[in-house]
Amino acid sequence: MRKKKDLPPVSFLEEGEWPTGRLAADAPATARLGQILAARLARALADQGLSARAIGERARCTHPTIARILDGTGSPDAQTVLHLEIALQRHLWPSDLHEGLTLPPAPERDTAAGQKGHQTQA
């Protein structure tokens, strides 16, 4: 599930048009995932001559959800991607996305705040 503070994938587009343009070098993996999903979904729809509304009905999701995936303003959940793959009979999820990517450093925790309420009695 996408966290509320996460920006939509298209917000990391540095040059060109979505979804084929270049993302910022520091774009998170979720932005790269969104870009690949959008490109693969667009290609599948074109190949099969389907509209966002038609695939939404087949995949049991709304056409605005499909539009958000395609324009990069939304990130689909796993169930939506699975339903789209079943409806299209095509892989959308990139199996090699992890190659060459790293996770950002974990945020530092405030150890004093983390220990509050966990004091033992003597």
Note whether residue 60 is domain-resident.
yes
- pLDDT at residue 98 above 90? no
Q: In terms of residue numbers, what domain contains 41?
A: 9-94
Other CB atoms within 10 Å distance of the CB of residue 23: 22
Note whether residue 113 is domain-resident.
no
Residues 32-52: pLDDT tens digits?
999 999 999 999 999 999 999
Answer whether 12's CB lies under 8 Å from 23's CB.
Answer: yes
- pLDDT at residue 3 above 90? no
Note whether residue 57 is domain-resident.
yes
Residues 53-77: pLDDT tens digits?
999 999 999 999 999 999 999 999 9
The whole-number pLDDT of residue 111 equals 62
- pLDDT at residue 122 above 70? no
Assign residue 72 a region (left: φ > 0; alpha: ψ between -120 and 50; beta: otherwise). left
At residue 13, the 3 state secondary structure works out as strand
Note whether residue 68 is domain-resident.
yes
Percent of the chain with pLDDT over 70: 85
Three-class SS of 14-72: EECCCCCCEECCCCCHHHHHHHHHHHHHHHHHHHHCCCHHHHHHHHCCCHHHHHHHHHC
Note whether residue 42 is domain-resident.
yes
The whole-number pLDDT of residue 4 equals 47
Q: What's the CATH code of the domain at 75?
A: 1.10.260.40
Note whether residue 24 is domain-resident.
yes
